[in-house]
Chains A and B, each alone.
Chain A
Amino acid sequence: MEFQSVVMAAGRGSRMTDLTASIPKPLLPIGNRPMIWYPVNMLETAGFQEVIIIALESTSHDIRQALTALCDVKVSLDIVGIPDDADWGTADSLRHIKDKIQTDILVVSCDLVCNVPLHQLADIHRMHNSTLTMLLADLPQTTDSAAILKSKKIGNEQRDFIGLDGDGRRVVIMASEADLDDALTVRRSVLKRHPCVRIKTKLQDAHLFLLKKWVVDYLQQNRSVSTIKGELVPLLVRKQFSRRKKPDDVSKAGDLSMVSPPSTKEDNLDIHSFDEDDEMTVLTRSLSSGAGQRVDGTQDSTITCYTHIVTEGMCVRANTLPSYVEANKQILHELAGGDELLVHPSITTKGKYQIGPECMVGEGVSLGDKVTLKKSIIGKHCTIGDRVKITNSVIMNHVTIKDGSILQGCVVCDNAHMGDQCELKDSLVGSSQNIPSKAKYSNEVIVNEEQMLEV
């Protein structure tokens, strides 16, 4: 077994609380399938036999249920629950399952909808023997469908600055805009070794990492790292350019007794000491004429970070409301070309109806007369009245929409009920909401009042 796979599904969806208020994030439907099915399916396609899923204890049963019963997943699932009240980051979760990790690992977030063949990433990992290999994708172009709730500024503060070496494979700089004040600091030592660095800001981290096993051991020791994306990855990228410590220069800083000298690290353990070389590497180094050896006896860092950038195919992270809409849209687009049946045969219709090519209609839906659907997803057991027009929208399960309503660019959660002749544009309807007849909304979030406070 070369890799073990871990799916991080314990996120609370804090960037789209309106959606996750009633449905746990991993189970939010995308293309009428729970979100978590996509990464699990990707791993299954890639040939994994077993998948470790880290989920909140309260949701782990539902996740197993959803994956095995509804989606017919065949890989063996090892769902590890973590306490609901522990506010753990992804690295904390990894630390939690340390004992299960025997090999290099593949970590993927449950909100990744991606059809990139994983072997491309694995090939880079093998070729460069990299410590960390990450998947990056171009940020989805904000199209008209993602216009939903545009007024809420999303996106800018999450921009990452990713510096790639000349051939675009090696990651040499990584910084998140949120962590920077007004300048991006570049070390000269980085530039000396990579004199032409390409900085991209419109790349999205897909949150899919291949990590060496020793990184998990390091996490075990260094408890200050709590998230993978936010802390571990920048740390590894930075450490590519530091040198291994000579054994004797640990804590030379003492000697200043007036006020206690600051300890430079929480853990005095050098990250490089975890990356032990196998015999072959040691032999190679001893035979080579000084490559990787410094005059002062220290060694070059053996940490390397590489990336694979998705240029074709689909790669969306559904972690915000716009990207959730975008993921749904892309799934429709992707499936429209395939031979999978998008309109469930069990729907009941009354009179004429029109369903566009990029539409998906779930089991047991009943459509009224002269219903028009364009680029939309209708969940299971919905009831759509006469002359309803739905465009660019996501309708979840058990929703009732009465006659003559028009929905454009909306997300409607489970069990919502909408009266006659409603007109909704670019809005979100929370679960079990009642929209009175002839209501008109544009660019609004309609949820329970106590949830409103959070917004």
Chain B
Amino acid sequence: MAGRGRKKADIMEQEDVLQAVIIADSFDIRFAPITKDIPRALMPVANRPLLEYTLHFLVAAGIQEIFVFCCAHANKIIKYLNDTGWTSDKAPCQVTTQVSEDSLSPGDALRLIYDRSLIRTDFVLVMGDLVSTINLQPIIQQHKQRRLKDKVTVMTMLFREAAPRHHTRSSDDDVVLVTERDTNRVLHYQMVEGQSKLDLPLDLFSDQSDLDIRYNLLDCHVSVCSPQVPQLFADNFDYQTRNDFVRGILVHEEIMGNQVQAHVVTDEYAARVSSPPMYDAVSKDILQRWTYPLVPDNRLSSQEQEGFYTLRRHHVYRGRDVFLDHDSVLEENVVIGPGTRIGSHTTISNSVIGQNCVIGDNVCLKGVYLWDNVTVGSGCSLTQCIVCSGVTIADRVVVEPSCVLASNVVVGPDVHLPAGTRVSLHPMQTPGAEDDFQEPTETVQHQTYQPDRIGAEGKGYIWEGDDDQDSLVAAMWGLRLEQEDSSSEESEESSEEEDNLDEENSPPDDIRIFYTEVLDSMQRAIEENINADNLILEINSSKYAYNISMQELNVCVVRCVLESAHLRASLMATASEYLAALKPLLQPMKGLLKNYIRNSESQQDCLMALEEYFGTHLNISAVLVSVLNFLYNEDILEEDSILKWYRHTAPSSTVPHKAQQQVRTAATKFIQWLQEAEEESEEDYD
């Protein structure tokens, strides 16, 4: 299929063909379990498959050649494109599919595209879940013009202006951008991920004197790319997503000389259906005609029938042959698909009903998305949920917000589905194997349905969560998912830097000897009351003798302070005895600690040392709170460092994970106090 219609392409000047790549796979499980049965790109949004919107967006931009990259459910996407005639010769542009079963990320997709050398010119890269009315043509022209002048721009990213907390802003794409005022060149790209503070490196300001920090941008994930982008992905195997790519380009800008440009649109529409809340938001926008001309009553292609939907006031769209009992009310923002029958005394608002659905009497639907061939029995009440094709909901079922009923599920009668319930005909797999992009595996149905929860006639398994899944459900409907990835990346980076500082790693023996030496010096200093400066001098000279890195030194010094207190008490001392021995030591050692623990990295070293020490001496871990408090009061440790340490458990070679957790539990009291104090002293909004 990849070779179809090549003749047409050959006739055209190769350089002038506008190409586009649609990544028709989400590589995530935000829509699970729906995506067990159907790829995200084919999910109906306002009764039209999502991919249709994306394709029309590209056709309107004058794209002549589109590669649809599919991975999960590839056969379904291919079949859909064939059935709708996109891949035929009559289509407005040439659409070919590229299948890869083993790609795991958009990065892999682009590497594949590079391997197959499909890209000849500047191209448009979009995700297969985009609904947009942006006129791309001038943007592509600008991109080309810029490339004519200077080859350094490799990508133009599209953003739409949208205030923070705008309903179409997905929490995944909470991005802060720093751009150059005059040129809109992207200088810094950072995901917020729930952080309350953002650090902008000062290097940004060294060349530019006039910058914009923008938090009012919605990332459309539409990028106009230069031909070398797939190659850059191929060269850098660690680029998994476009965000990795952008970050990589910006970090290596000085070396590689590549630049990224931002283009901000203000009046046109663009949003991605990236999660269930976005599905809800985008559907509403379509019904309220923000996406005109992409609205239900407009015919997008010759394949669609004329006058399929008629628009009534309050944004009510009625398909052909809809039977609506005269007592029923379609309040506002409603689409009713053709052939649907609705019983009496039923009210529907803010909902999309697919084709050939049957809805009973006395039903109340609010913010509900029913796909095709759904049956809803009488007396049901559904609020804010997604009900996939072929689902049967028997009589008197109540569905609370944020529920998902995947294809062909049966529920009821007389059940109450609590908020966040997800039901699928596929039993839930272990979280590791449960991936959007895997073909549904036919497992033996050894599990049984739970009639008490989904009703006597119910068919389907409830997907429910252990710890991970709970957060997933929350994330599905817009509660914030704790993202820890970025910060762990950060810490990796910083440790790399430290490694670079000390390329020659001395054998661990050196460290041990050094450690005993420092401990000896310290004890002598305590006994003879030697000035901290002299002690520092002594330690520093030992450092050079044993070729110790700064990090090791920091850890060592902190350990020694703790250890010497231990030696003064007794090795079997209880927490209170130890504290009594430690207290008089801390004050004279203050200068010493201040000398070594100076920046945030060394603070992390210090915290690591504390963690290791109290992790190996768990009986005295209660003392940790007072040590932390002392160090905090003396400004040796900063609040941010402590909180960072507390939140992220770095893997340690010496302390088992369990002990690390215990140490953190011991510190909880202090952390709580710190957080309260932070709230008070900063009196900050969040």
Interface residues of A (CB under 8 A from B): 159, 161, 163, 177, 180-189, 191-192, 195-202, 241-245, 249, 252-253, 255-256, 258-262, 264-265
List the A residue with the shortest CB-CB distance to B205: A201
B685 touches A202 (CB 8 A): no
Decide if A245 touches B205 in the complex (CB within 8 Å). no
Cβ A188 vs Cβ B200 within 8 A: no
Task: Tell which of B201, B599, B684 touches A241, judged by Cβ atoms closer than 8 Å.
Answer: B684
Supply 15 further A-B pairs (C-beta < 8 A) apart from A187-B197, A256-B625, A259-B630. A183-B202, A191-B215, A192-B215, A195-B163, A196-B214, A198-B210, A199-B210, A199-B212, A202-B210, A241-B685, A242-B684, A253-B677, A258-B629, A259-B633, A261-B629
A299 to nearest B CB, angstroms?
A: 11
Q: Is the CB of A253 within 8 A of B676?
A: yes
Given known contacts A186-B198, A186-B200, A188-B197, is B685 in contact with A243 (CB within 8 Å)?
yes
CB–CB B214/A195 < 8 A: yes
Nearest to A161 among chain B residues (CB) is: B205
Residues on the B chain within 8 Å of A186, using CB: 176, 197-200, 213
**Is B680 positioned at the interface, with any CB of A under 8 Å from its CB?**
yes
Measured CB to CB, the closest approach of chain A to B129, in angstroms, equals: 25
Q: Are A191 and B210 in contact (CB under 8 A)?
A: no
Contact A191 B176 (CB under 8 A): yes
Interface residue? B164 (CB, 8 A): yes
- Is B677's CB under 8 angstroms from A187's CB? no
User: How distant is A145 from chain B, measured CB to nearest CB, in Å?
Assistant: 22
Q: Which of A181, A184, A195, A261 contacts B215 (CB under 8 A)?
A: A195
For A188, the closest partner residue in chain B by CB is B196
Interface size on B, residues (CB 8 A): 45
With A199-B212, A245-B683 known as contacts, the answer to whether A184 contacts B200 (CB < 8 A) is yes
Which residues from chain A contact B198 at a C-beta distance below 8 Å? 185-188, 191
Once the chains bind, are B197 and A198 in contact (CB under 8 Å)?
no
| Pairwise interchain contact A242-B676, C-beta atoms closer than 8 A | no
Is B304 engaged at the interface, CB distance under 8 Å to the other chain? no
The complex places the Cα of A182 from the Cα of B686 at a distance, in Å, of 25
- Report how far A329 CA is from B216 CA in the complex, Å: 43
Q: What would be 8 A-B contacts, judged by CB atoms less than 8 Å apart?
A: A182-B202, A188-B195, A189-B685, A196-B214, A197-B215, A201-B210, A243-B685, A252-B680
Query: What is the bound-complex CA distance between A256 and B630, given in angstroms?
Result: 12
Contacts A184-B199, A256-B669, A259-B629 given: A195-B216 contact, CB under 8 Å? yes
Closest residue to B216 on the A side, CB-wise?
A: A195
* Chain B residue nearest in CB terms to A159: B205
Q: Which of B187-241 contact A (CB under 8 A)?
A: 192, 195-202, 204-205, 208-216
User: In the bound complex, do residue B181 and residue A198 qualify as a contact, i.e. CB atoms below 8 Å apart?
Assistant: yes
| Whole-angstrom distance between the Cβ of B56 and the nearest chain A Cβ | 30
Known: A184-B202, A186-B197, A188-B195. A197 touches B213 (CB 8 A): yes
Q: Chain A: which residue is nearest B626 at the CB level?
A: A258
**How far, in angstroms, from A185 to B196 measured CA to CA in the complex?**
10
Residues of B with C-beta under 8 A to A260? 633
User: How near does chain B come to A273, taking the closest CB pair, in angstroms?
Assistant: 12
Closest to B202 in A: A182
Within 8 A of A (CB), among B615-655: 625-626, 629-630, 632-633
Q: Is the CB of B197 within 8 A of A196?
A: no
Question: Are the C-beta atoms of A191 and B164 separated by less than 8 Å?
Answer: yes
When distances are taken between beta carbons in the complex, the residues of chain B under 8 Å from A183 are 199-202
Asked if B544 is an interface residue, CB under 8 A from chain A, the answer is no
- The answer to whether the Cβ of B541 comes within 8 Å of any Cβ in the partner chain is no
For A198, give its contact among B196, B211, B683, B684 (CB under 8 Å): B211
A199→B215 contact, CB < 8 A: no
Interchain nearest-CB distance for B113 vs A (Å):
35
Question: Assuming the A-B contacts A198-B181, A200-B209, are A264 and B681 also in contact, with contact meaning beta carbons closer than 8 angstroms in the complex?
Answer: yes
Q: Top 7 A-B pairs ranked by shortest CB distance?
A: A195-B216, A183-B199, A202-B209, A191-B215, A242-B683, A264-B681, A195-B215
In the complex, what distance in Å separates the CA atom of A242 from the CA atom of B181? 28
For A156, give the chain B residue with the smallest CB separation.
B206
Pair A264/B680 contact, Cβ less than 8 Å: yes
A192 cross-chain contacts in B, Cβ below 8 A: 164-165, 215, 685
In Å, the complex CA distance between A136 and B272 comes to 42
B633: chain A residues within 8 A (beta carbon): 259-260, 262
B contacts with A: majority SS: mixed
| Contact (Cβ within 8 A) B683 A255 | no
Which B residues are in CB contact (< 8 Å) with A264? 677, 680-681
A198 with B212: CB separation less than 8 A:
yes
Q: Scan B666-686; emit 1 where CB is below 8 A from any A CB, else 0.
A: 000110010011001111111
Residue of A nearest to B201 (CB): A183
Residues in B neighbouring A196, C-beta threshold 8 A: 212-216
The distance in angstroms between the C-alpha atoms of A353 and B371, with both chains bound, is 95
Instruction: Tell me which residues across on chain B come within 8 A of A163, comparing CB atoms.
Output: 213
Cβ of A312 to closest chain B Cβ, rounded Å: 18
Closest to B629 in A: A259
How many Å from the CB of A322 to the closest CB on chain B? Answer: 18
B297 to chain A, nearest CB (A): 34
CB distance from A193 to the nearest CB of B (A): 8
Give A243's nearest chain B residue, CB to CB. B683
Inter-subunit contact B680/A261 (CB<8 Å): no
Contact of A252 among B195, B670, B676, B685 (CB under 8 A): B676
By a CB distance below 8 angstroms, the chain A residues around B205 are 159, 161, 184, 199, 201
Q: Which residues of B contact A184 (CB under 8 A)?
A: 199-202, 204-205
Q: By the criterion CB–CB under 8 Å, are A188 and B201 in contact? A: no
Chain A's closest residue to B192 (CB) is A188
Which of B209, B680, B683 has the most CB atoms of chain A within a 10 A radius of its CB? B683
Are the C-beta atoms of A187 and B199 separated by less than 8 Å? no
- Pick the contact of A256: B211, B629, B681 (CB < 8 A): B629
With a cutoff of 8 Å between Cβ atoms, the chain A residues found around residue B176 in the complex are 186, 191
Q: In the complex, how many angstroms separate the beta carbon of A320 from the nearest chain B beta carbon?
A: 19
**Known contacts A182-B201, A187-B196, A252-B676: A200-B210 contact under CB 8 Å:** yes
Tell me which residues across on chain B come within 8 A of A249, comparing CB atoms. 680
8 Å CB interface, B562-582 against A:
none
Given contacts A258-B629, A259-B633, contact A242 B212 (CB under 8 A): no
* Bound Cα distance A249, B208 (Å): 43
Query: How many angstroms between the C-alpha atoms of A241 and B686 in the bound complex?
Result: 10
Q: In this complex, what residue of A is CB-closest to B627? A: A259
Measured between beta carbons, the chain A residues less than 8 angstroms from B680 are: 245, 249, 252-253, 264
User: Are B670 and A256 within 8 A (Cβ)?
Assistant: yes
Contact A195:B681 (CB < 8 A) given known A186-B198, A188-B196: no
Report whether B164 and A195 are in contact in the complex, using a CB–CB cutoff of 8 Å.
yes
Complex Cα distance A245/B679, Å? 11
Q: How far is the CA of A180 from the CA of B202 in the complex (A)?
A: 8
Instruction: Say whether A177 contacts B626, CB under 8 Å.
Output: no
Q: Which of chain A's residues have a CB closer than 8 A to the CB of B670?
A: 256
**Which has the most chain A C-beta neighbours within 10 Å: B195, B200, B632?**
B200
Q: Which residues of A contact B196 (CB under 8 A)?
A: 187-189
CA distance A449 to B148 in the complex (A): 60
Residue from A183, A202, A242, A265 whose CB has the most chain B CB atoms within 10 Å: A183
- For B178, the chain A residues whose CB sits under 8 A away are 199
- Chain B positions within 8 Å of A265 at CB level: 681
Considering the complex, give the chain A residue whose CB is closest to the CB of B685: A189
**What residue in chain B is nearest A183 (Cβ atoms)?**
B199
Contacts of B626 in A (CB 8 A): 258-259
State A161–B199 Cα separation when bound (angstroms): 13
Bound-complex Cα distance A249 to B681 (A): 11
- Closest chain-A Cβ to B279's Cβ sits at a distance in Å of 25
Q: Which residue of A lies closest to B209 (CB)?
A: A202
Query: A259 vs B627: C-alpha distance in the bound complex, in angstroms?
Result: 9
A189: B residues at CB distance < 8 A? 196, 684-686
**Which residues of B sit under 8 angstroms from A185, Cβ to Cβ?**
197-200
Given A184-B205, A195-B214, A201-B205, also A261-B199 (CB < 8 A): no
Distance (Å) between the CB of B603 and the closest chain A CB? 13
Q: How far is the CA of A252 from the CA of B682 in the complex (A)?
A: 14
Given the complex, which residues of B lie within 8 Å of A198, measured CB to CB?
Answer: 181, 210-213
Partner of A177, one of B202, B210, B676, B686: B202
